[in-house]
Amino acid sequence: MRDGNKKMDPKFRRLIREVAEFCPRAAMTNRELALHCLETNRRNFICLYHGERDKNGKTNDESVTEQSPYQVTGTPYARAVKGVREDDVEPQPGHLHCGCPEDVVLLDFYLWKHTKITSPVNGVTEGWKDQHLDPRARLLMATAWQDWTGLTVDQIYKGDQSDTEAEVERLQYQVEVIQTALVDAEEKLTQRNEKRAAPSRHASTV
């Protein structure tokens, strides 16, 4: 595991990227460690999808045409990686070298390492195994997750906290965000009801 500026063995990192069940804590301790797990031998940061499913990654928002089936691909920028004996490449701010948004990639990494499902028929429990959401499906899922939970990827990381301490802090954060959203929604509802009621009051006074 990474400690301060120490690097994790590349073979260990590869195992973390290839086996969902292996060392899930790596995806939820802190952002730096999670990113380090997605770092290749050539110091490129690549998302799970572009590391495992589509290594050349030619589909992105910069490459779409009017004929493309989707204008929002989930990968905003073209891939820009450092090759053998080349200088380091600086990715777009907030994005990885594969062109994908860092926060969405890290959320996907966390969900891939932690989510499990159980069959009601055979009782088997298993995770994502070799499946990966493509960038567009991943962005849609991440957007829905953030909208519904009020959480961002930053609340995933628990540092040195115990599981219970982290859970309490995360729930407190979530309650606060949801309470603020509730107040806003109630205000909108009140304003809408007042607008609806206004014409009839006006009509009755004429």
- Residue 92 CB, nearest approach to Zn ion (Å): 12
Nearer to Zn ion, 98 or 106 (CB): 98
- Residue 60 CB, nearest approach to Zn ion (Å): 9
- Residue 96 CB, nearest approach to Zn ion (Å): 6
Distance CA(162)–CA(139), nearest Å, equals 30
> Residues with Cβ < 8 Å from 143, sequence gap 6 or more?
none
Nearer to Zn ion, 47 or 142 (CB): 47
Nearer to Zn ion, 138 or 175 (CB): 138
Residues paired with 118 in a beta bridge: 125
Nearer to Zn ion, 80 or 177 (CB): 80
Distance CA(28)–CA(170), nearest Å, equals 13
Distance CA(202)–CA(43), nearest Å, equals 68
Nearer to Zn ion, 13 or 50 (CB): 50
Name the nearest CA neighbour of 43 among 101, 92, 82: 82
> Residues with Cβ < 8 Å from 35, sequence gap 6 or more?
45, 102, 106
Binding positions for Zn ion, rule: CB under 5 A = 47, 50, 98, 100
**Cα-Cα end-to-end distance for the chain:** 76
- Residue 80 CB, nearest approach to Zn ion (Å): 12
Distance CA(24)–CA(110), nearest Å, equals 8
Quick count: other Cβ atoms within 10 Å of Cβ 67? Answer: 5
- Residue 124 CB, nearest approach to Zn ion (Å): 30
